[in-house]
Chain A
């Protein structure tokens, strides 16, 4: 359990359960984000759930398998992309009159496409928070472990 190499991952039981559940966790995160303007949840919670699905993958299968799916550089890049997207949505508000003005039509209450720019903000925050949390996890857990391994 206290293995730091992150190459082998955990036992077959954990790997099998992870293979069955990790996709569902990822999908649940996307659901939470896309329904953020309709039900409890939103970009922050959904982003953390998506990050958790990658953390689950990392803990069960180890670093190599995880980096085949998403590269280390991509995680830090996505974090910045999310921040720029959120700022971009804020700046697009100038179309309608000001910073953070809700520039899109409101749509019908309780339908998936409603709330103007709020779902877009949720998606931007999701990318930012998800990549940020996973990047922090990698920095605190994975990088340090491999550094010790190298010594």
Chain B
């Protein structure tokens, strides 16, 4: 389990570096460290399916972010520290941590989930669906509605991006 904590410490360091970095490109690379670390964490937790998806999505995201940041001027201007803002931020962080601790205490212990529905999936998935990969059996058969919802979310996101970024049909400012 120690390697899990090493990778997670690396991810936290990457996240902090991404926030503190002045250079946008360095910040994007630091975010990439977090995503790739998450992929390794999924592997260590024996979830290769999610690890694979996380890996490829992270690569796409970093490519898009790098290409997007390279076209922008680096506006990494330090605005100076504001005491009241920092105090409020610290208070909010402390509140979040406290609520988090309270919430996590009510969860079942790590690695000991309530396997009420999952037990049925594990026992019957192969017989019910005929698919050897149980994850595929769950997301495309038992919980296909869920997947349809995800596909709709992605569809909406793509349509939104294409609408905002499109060139056809956008009036120039001079034309108004």
Contact residues of A with B, CB < 8 Å?
1-2, 4, 32, 36-42, 44-45, 48-49, 51-52, 55, 59, 76, 79, 83, 86-87, 90, 99-100, 102, 105-110, 114-118, 121-122, 125, 128-129, 132-133, 135-137, 139-141, 143-145, 147-148
Contact = CB atoms under 8 A, between A and B. Distances in A.
A54 B55 CA distance: 17
Interface in B138-162: 139-141, 144-145, 147-148, 151-152, 154-155, 157-158, 161-162
A49 B53 CA distance: 9
B68 A52 contact: no
Given A51-B60, A141-B67, A42 B135 contact: yes
B149 to A, nearest CB: 11
List the 5 closest A-B pairs by CB distance, nearest first: A106-B130, A115-B131, A37-B131, A139-B165, A40-B48
A130 B44 CA distance: 27
B56 interface: yes
Contacts of A76: 162
Contacts of B63: 55, 59, 137
Given A87-B148, A141-B68, A40 B60 contact: no
A116 to B, nearest CB: 6
B141 A109 contact: no
A87 to B, nearest CB: 7
Q: Is the interface of B mostly helix, strand, loop or mixed?
A: helix
A38 B132 contact: yes
A102 B49 CA distance: 22
8 contacts: A32-B52, A37-B132, A40-B49, A83-B151, A86-B148, A109-B126, A118-B129, A128-B155
B171 interface: no
Contact of A139 (B48, B53, B56, B161): B161
A145 B56 CA distance: 24
Given A109-B126, A121-B144, A38 B151 contact: no
B53 A48 contact: yes
A36 B162 CA distance: 29
Given A38-B133, A100-B145, A115-B136, A79 B155 contact: yes
A122 B139 CA distance: 10
B71 interface: yes
Given A79-B155, A86-B151, A118-B129, 11 more contacts: A40-B51, A41-B52, A42-B140, A48-B60, A100-B141, A110-B132, A125-B151, A132-B154, A140-B165, A141-B64, A144-B165
A145 B71 contact: yes
Nearest to B69: A2
Contact of B161 (A41, A48, A109, A140): A140
A42 B154 CA distance: 16
